[in-house]
Every structure is written in structure tokens, then in C-alpha cells.
Amino acid sequence: MKQKILTRLKSTQKPVIINGAGMVGETVLGFCRDNGIAVAGFCDGSLKVEGTDFHGFKVMHTQRLKDHYPDALILVTAAAIKDVVDMLREEGFEDWVAAGPLLEDLDVGQNSPALDFHKFSVETCIICHAGYLNPERAFLRSIDLIITERCSLKCKDCSNLMQYYENPKNVALDLLFQSVDALCLALDEIMELRVIGGDAFMNKQWPLVVEKLLGEPKIKRVVIYTNGAIVPKVDHAPLLKHPKVLTIATDYGALSSNMDKLIHYFVEHGIAHRILQVDSWLDCASLEKHERSKEDNAKVYQDCCAKNMLSLSDGKLFRCPFAANADRLSAVPEFNGDYVDVLAAVSSPAGVAGAGRKIMDYVLNKGALEVCDYCNGRPLSGVEVKPAVQTEEPLSFRKFPRIQPIHQYEK
Ligand code: SF4
Ligand code: SF4
């Protein structure tokens, strides 16, 4: 595969454009230069980097690439390769190659206690591209595992809809374990399981969940999300220090009330971590029916940057956190076609192989969801709002009756 891609890049008459102006893009640029491949430019799906200088190239927005290079051969570097390829196809680009196989011989081993994020990103690209390029394998890049509805903050524009929970609870451990077992039976490999809420640390049983995930060889990484309000106990440091675990803390300034202590804890115990700074959010958290036409709904879905943020909630796999939490909240009718019931699928007559096919068909082929009509959508060029503005009271919304309330909570 590597040789084939290399030959194609070297022999093409088309301008070679690297998609992804980030750490992996930088590595791929170095690889191209070392191997005599002329790179004509960089493009990226983020408006934030459009027009910026990246290693001597002015970054083009992917949606404007056609204006400059209508016949480009695009070298994709993003781990979320499906999103990029979908976007390129929408823009009329069919000629692309995955960069992952080119990087396979690089040393991406983690040699120091502090996570080398560059190596981490390159390794992620290699594994994700290998999974994407092998249609025989049931491989998923990333899945959010909702372990709690609780959060220490109540951001009125939370895209995971935490601001709507009146009486937030932790998900029952049994149900979480059954869901993970079913997922791992059905799939061949999962690059990362993201332990999420709310704030993952609000569920005191998070260490048991993480231990469970670490015991699953099909799961390559476990990423824990928090907001800097809670510092875990010292006893839990060895678990967080596991080489498969990364903890990501979002810094909301004064609202992340224990961020300094948390960073100290990470550093003191040699725990791989990232601190995320946010300066804006997309306005994507309102819950209302838009009454869009089927075509308009499809367009909202097509432009949505969250449509491949798979979320596992009570054994059901949804395309995005909005769909998963709108379902948990009963804020939408029972749209059974909007998700795959993984627990039911693995015990159906089609068995685990059938469940795997069902999940992959959903991930690769499912178009707009019914729930999209209740969502603003998340276009990268959408309206932005100030992050982490708090609401004192939960926000109100219309509740729909449920025939089968299957939530199981921690007792
Ligand atoms: S910190 Fe805010 S954005 Fe993050 S999960 Fe909690 S409520 Fe949502
Ligand atoms: S538009 Fe659809 S896919 Fe995108 S976040 Fe909303 S519900 Fe999810």
C-alpha cells in the first residue's frame, strides 16, 4: 500500500495538496520533501487556519480549494478521514490518497513519561487510515461513552445538552459494561473510547469503567474528558497513568476551579494529559422542531461537523452527542431508525457478525437523522457563541412520551 501511494504521488501530473494543517500534516510534508514529492499547498476544513502561513504555504479552506486547484490530488492526513473524504466528495474531489500508510515506518513509541502528542497524533493517523482503507474490518475511529448526565458546570450552550437535565444521574455500571461488551463483540477494533458526560469525574465509578475499557484489547485508547473542577484521588493516578489513557481537561478559566491543582496532579504523577483552551463555541444546543423539508434537513446534516461523533448511550449507538442526549432526555419522539441498538443487535439471530455489519452500515451509509430537524446543526461556518456561559436553572424543553423507558441509573 505504501509503495503504491508513493508511486502515485511521484508520478502524478496533478498538484499535490496536503489536507490538514496540523502536526500530522507537518510530518507528511517532511516525508514528501524527503521523498522528492512536490507539494503545491495545504488545505484545511477549519476556518480558523484559513489564510494562515503553514511552513511557507498559505492555508486554503477545503471548500475553496476548487478555486485554486480544481484538479488537485489530495493527501489526507486527518485521523477523521471519513469526514474529510465526505467533504472532498461534496466539493467534487474524487482524487485523494490516505497519508497513514506513508507514515507506518516512523517511530511513534512513547519514550518519555509526558505524552509526546506529535507521536500520538501520527500513530492515530496510521491506525485510523488502516482501518478506513480496509472495508472488511469493522473499525471505528472514536466513540463517546456517556457514563453520567452530571456535570459540575451547567453551560447554557453545552452541545451535549447537559443544561436540560433536571435531575441528572450516573448511568448504571451493569448497563455500561454490557454496552461495552456488546460493542467489542460486534466490532474488530475501536481506536478510542471517550469517557464522557457531563464531566466523567462526576461519576465516582469512573475508575471501574476505565479499568473495564483497558481490559478490552480491541480498544486502543481511552480518553477521559473533564472540565478542571475535580481532582481525582491519588489512588487513581496509576490508572490514569496507563499508557492507553489520555485525560483531556477543558480550561474554562475561573469556572475550572481546580485546574491548577489538576495540572499539578497530572505532572506530579506523570499522567498523559492535554489542556484545551476554547475561545468560541458553535450555537448548536437549542432543542426545537424546525419543520424543515427533507432536502433542507439533509443539507443541515451534510454540513454538520458532528455527524460522525458516535455516541453510545444505554447500549444504543447514535451518530452524535446531540442525538444521544435528545433521546435520553425524551426531547424528541422515539426515532428508532436514528440509532443502532447494539445490545439488541448482538443477541439477534444475525449474531455478532450481523451486528458488526449493521453498525458499519449505519456509520458509513446512514444519512440525515429525524432528530436533525430538532437541531440547529453544527456547520463549521455556523454562528458562534461565548463558551461556558452558565445557567442557574435547567433549561426547559418539550418532553415526548416514551413507550420503552430503558434508562438504568446507578442506585
Ligand atoms: S462543562 Fe459545560 S460544556 Fe462541558 S459537559 Fe459540562 S455543561 Fe457541558
Ligand atoms: S445536525 Fe444531526 S448529526 Fe448534526 S449534531 Fe444535529 S442531530 Fe447530530
Q: Give tens-digit pLDDT for 325-337.
A: 999 999 999 999 9
Whether 305 is in the pocket of ligand 2, judged by its Cβ within 6 Å, is no
Atom of ligand 1 nearest to the CA of 198: 5
**pLDDT of 117 above 90:** no
Place of cell 474490518: 137
Whether 162 is in the pocket of ligand 1, judged by its Cβ within 6 Å, is yes
**Ligand 2 site-directed mutation target among 307, 325, 374, most atoms within 8 Å of CB:** 307
pLDDT band at 120 (very low <50, low <70, confident <90, very high): confident
Whether 319 is in the pocket of ligand 2, judged by its Cβ within 6 Å, is yes
DSSP type of residue 223? E
φ, ψ for residue 341, nearest 5 deg? -80, 95
φ, ψ for residue 401, nearest 5 deg? -65, 145
Whether 300 is in the pocket of ligand 2, judged by its Cβ within 6 Å, is yes
Whether 371 is in the pocket of ligand 2, judged by its Cβ within 6 Å, is yes
Place of cell 446512514: 366
Whether 198 is in the pocket of ligand 1, judged by its Cβ within 6 Å, is yes
What residue's CA is closest to ligand 2, atom 2? Answer: 372
Rounded Cα–Cα distance for residues 257 and 311 (Å): 28
pLDDT band at 405 (very low <50, low <70, confident <90, very high): low
φ, ψ for residue 58, nearest 5 deg? -85, 120
- Please name which ligand lies nearest the alpha carbon of 298: 2
Whether 200 is in the pocket of ligand 1, judged by its Cβ within 6 Å, is no
Return the minimum-mean-pLDDT range out of 117-126, 142-151, 248-257, 390-399: 117-126
Whether 369 is in the pocket of ligand 2, judged by its Cβ within 6 Å, is yes
Write out the three cell numbers for 52.
494562515
CB atoms within 10 A of CB 355: 25
Write out the three cell numbers for 40.
503545491
**pLDDT of 111 above 70:** no
Predicted confidence at residue 352, as pLDDT, reads 95
Atom of ligand 2 nearest to the CA of 318: 8
3 state DSSP class of 219: strand
Predicted confidence at residue 48, as pLDDT, reads 85
Predicted confidence at residue 370, as pLDDT, reads 97
Place of cell 512536490: 38
Predicted confidence at residue 380, as pLDDT, reads 80
Phi-psi label, residue 330: left if phi above 0, alpha if psi -120 to 50, beta otherwise: left
Report the predicted TM-score, pTM, of the whole model to 2 decimal places.
0.90
Place of cell 511521484: 10
CA of 162 to the centre of ligand 2 (A): 16
What residue's CA is closest to ligand 2, atom 7? Answer: 372
**pLDDT of 368 above 70:** yes
Domain boundaries, the chain: 2-103, 137-385
Residue-wise pLDDT tens digits, 11-44: 999 999 999 999 999 999 999 999 999 999 999 9
CATH architecture under which domain 2-103 falls: 3-Layer(aba) Sandwich (3.40)
Q: Are 331 and 337 in contact (CB under 8 A)?
A: no
Predicted confidence at residue 108, as pLDDT, reads 66
Over pLDDT 70: what percentage of the chain?
A: 97
**Which residue would you say has higher pLDDT here, 386 or 114?**
386
What residue's CA is closest to ligand 1, atom 5? Answer: 198
What residue's CA is closest to ligand 2, atom 1? Answer: 377
Among the listed residues 88, 141, 156, 86, the one whose alpha carbon sits nearest the alpha carbon of residue 301:
86
Predicted confidence at residue 112, as pLDDT, reads 59
Please state the rounded mean pLDDT for residues 171-186: 96
Predicted confidence at residue 107, as pLDDT, reads 72
**pLDDT of 126 above 80:** yes
- Please name the amino acid found at residue 270: G
CA dihedral 71→75→79→83, nearest 10 degrees, is: 10
Write out the three cell numbers for 5.
501511494
Phi-psi label, residue 99: left if phi above 0, alpha if psi -120 to 50, beta otherwise: alpha
**pLDDT of 113 above 60:** no
Q: Are 125 and 175 in contact (CB under 8 A)?
A: no
Predicted confidence at residue 354, as pLDDT, reads 96
Residue-wise pLDDT tens digits, 189-234: 999 999 999 999 999 999 999 999 999 999 999 999 999 999 999 9
CA dist 125 to 20, 120, 377, 405, Å? 11, 9, 27, 39
**pLDDT of 409 above 90:** no
Predicted confidence at residue 403, as pLDDT, reads 77
What residue's CA is closest to ligand 1, atom 3? Answer: 158
CA dist 200 to 28, 145, 146, 297, 371, Å? 34, 10, 8, 32, 25
Predicted confidence at residue 1, as pLDDT, reads 85
* CATH code for the structural domain at 137-385: 3.20.20
